[in-house]
Each structure stands twice: as structure tokens, then as C-alpha cells.
Copies of this chain bind each other. A is one copy, B any other.
Amino acid sequence: MLCYFNNQFIPLTTAALSVTDLGLQRGYGIFDFIRVANQVPLYIDDHLDRFYHSAEYMRLPVKQSKNELKAIIYELIQKNALSDSGIRILLTGGASPDGYEIIQPNLTIIEQPLSPPPDVVPSGYKLVTYAHQRQLPQVKTTNYLVAVWLQPWVKEQGADDVLYQQNGIVSECPRSNFFIVTKDGLIVTPAKNILNGIIRKQILKLGPLHGMRIEERDVSIEDIRLAKEAFISSSTKRVIPVRQVDDMHFVVSPASLTSKIFELLRDNEPH
């Protein structure tokens, strides 16, 4: 498997960053992740826009223009010739004289095999809530300290993922956005303190075009308790129904709005 590293294509197994890189020393880095289906990088413009936004916010200069980066990604996909994969664009702080100042970030683009999501609605997830707020939530940083640390606890709870909340207001899962469907058929997703997911953006765009009502606003634990459905969205998973959040249960049915959203996304995927 080739990756793009230090301005060239080299085997992934040989790509290594100095132990002095701020990405390692200070956890200072951003990334983005693109799902590739049949060699097509899905929503690549949205992902690259977000990547450049993250980079700018964190004051990490990117030498390549958006078009140059796009060309590199297409070339990498062609060289590796995987049908279904994930592309990770990683930008770390680079070497620093005082271990704090940013001089020249390091860009790495990795491609790895990734199974596509199923073509039918997958079975539901169980989520457990946990009091936490991601730092700089609007930026896709490499900080997954709490998410990785919580993994054994999530498994002990028999859960599939964790849903962050703060003072009873939920935000997101570590790698997915969260939605509920109210008893009135209104789709609601948290507006604040979240990462703006690319699939979330698609749902907000496609839903209203197909007669669905969607609102971005605060979602409380009480809102979840009163909801009819819940689901999460992410680039790797598309949409996954939620069958349980803590002690709150939801029925996953083919007639649900969750299933309709899933089908809408599947049928409108670029190809």
C-alpha cells in the first residue's frame, strides 16, 4: 500500500514522523477521512473544504492548493487500485524548536482498505451517554483521547458507541453525528459544539428536498426520551439506526424515517 508522504508516494510501512513532531509531543494535528467507493472519493470537495478550514483554524499552513491535493488523492487511489477504501489526510504540527511554536507542518495521506457500508439498513446501535465536550469541536483534530480511553467502558456496558452530553444536552458520538425523530415526525440534530459531518450536511440538504422536516437545535436527554426514532451518521457508516440510548429504547422498522434517510443517502451517493 502506498501513501503520500513528504511530497512523494512511498510504501505506508516506511512512512514515519520524527518523535519530535508536535503531533506526537503535543497532540497537535488535524485530519479528514474520505470514504472511497469503486475508486470514487465520496464528497471529496466537502471533505477538502473542511480539511482546509481545520488547518486554518489551527494555524497549520498547507503548501498544496485544494486542486493539487485533489490530484494527489486521485493519483493515490489509482496507484493503490483498491476498489473500496478510506483516505486519511493527516496534518501534524511538525518539528518545533521550543516544542510549542509551529514552523512547518507534516502532511501525510494514507489509503487503507475499508468495507463499504451495507446496502440495507443495518441493525441498530446501543449508545451510552457520557459527560464530555470535545475541545475545539468545530475542528477535526486528532484528539480522541477520551474516546479511545472510554472503549473498554463502552464494551462493558454492552454498547456500540458513546454519545457525549454536557449538562443534559447531547452533542455527538466521537466519530458520528446524532439525530432524533420526534413523535411529530420532525428530524432534529444538535446544532452546537459538534463537528459538522459531511453526511450530516447531506441529510440536511436531501431531507427537505424529499418532504422531510429537519431542524438544527439543542437535543436534551429528555428530548431523546420523548423521541420516536434515533440514528447516527458518518462517512464510513452512512446511517445507522439507534435502538437504545442508556435505558431508552427505540423500534427500528423498515417504515421509519431513519430507513428513508438511509435509502436517500444510498441512492444519491456519487458514483
Inter-subunit contact B24/A24 (CB<8 Å): yes
From B26, B132, B148, give the contact of A93 (CB < 8 A): B148
Q: Answer whether residue A141 sits at the interface, using C-beta atoms and an 8 A cutoff.
A: yes
Q: Is the CB of B28 within 8 A of A148?
A: yes
- What's the interface size class on A, roughly? 35 or more
Q: Give the docked Cα–Cα distance between A19 and B132 (Å).
A: 27
Each complex incorporates copies of this chain amounting to 2
Q: Is A173 an interface residue (CB 8 A)?
A: no
Q: A10-18, A181-189, A206-214: which lies at the B interface?
A: A10-18
B19 touches A12 (CB 8 A): yes
Taking CB atoms, residues of chain B closer than 8 Å to A21 are 24
Q: Mark A1-38, 1 if CB is under 8 A from B, else 0.
A: 00101000000110111111111111111010000000
- A254 on the interface (CB 8 Å rule)? no
Q: Which residues of B contact A23 (CB under 8 A)?
A: 23-24, 27
Chain B residues near A142 (CB, 8 Å)?
24-27
Q: Complex formed: what's the CA distance from A102 to B13 in Å?
A: 18
* A5 engages B19 (CB within 8 Å): yes
Shortest CB-to-CB span from A234 to chain B, Å, is 13
Say which residue of B58, B59, B144 sits within 8 Å of A27 (CB atoms).
Answer: B144
**Interface presence of A74 (CB below 8 A):** no
Question: Is the CB–CB distance between B18 and A15 below 8 Å?
Answer: yes
List residues of A whose CB falls within 8 A of some B CB: 3, 5, 12-13, 15-29, 31, 58-59, 88, 90, 92-93, 100-102, 108, 110, 132, 135-136, 141-149, 151-152
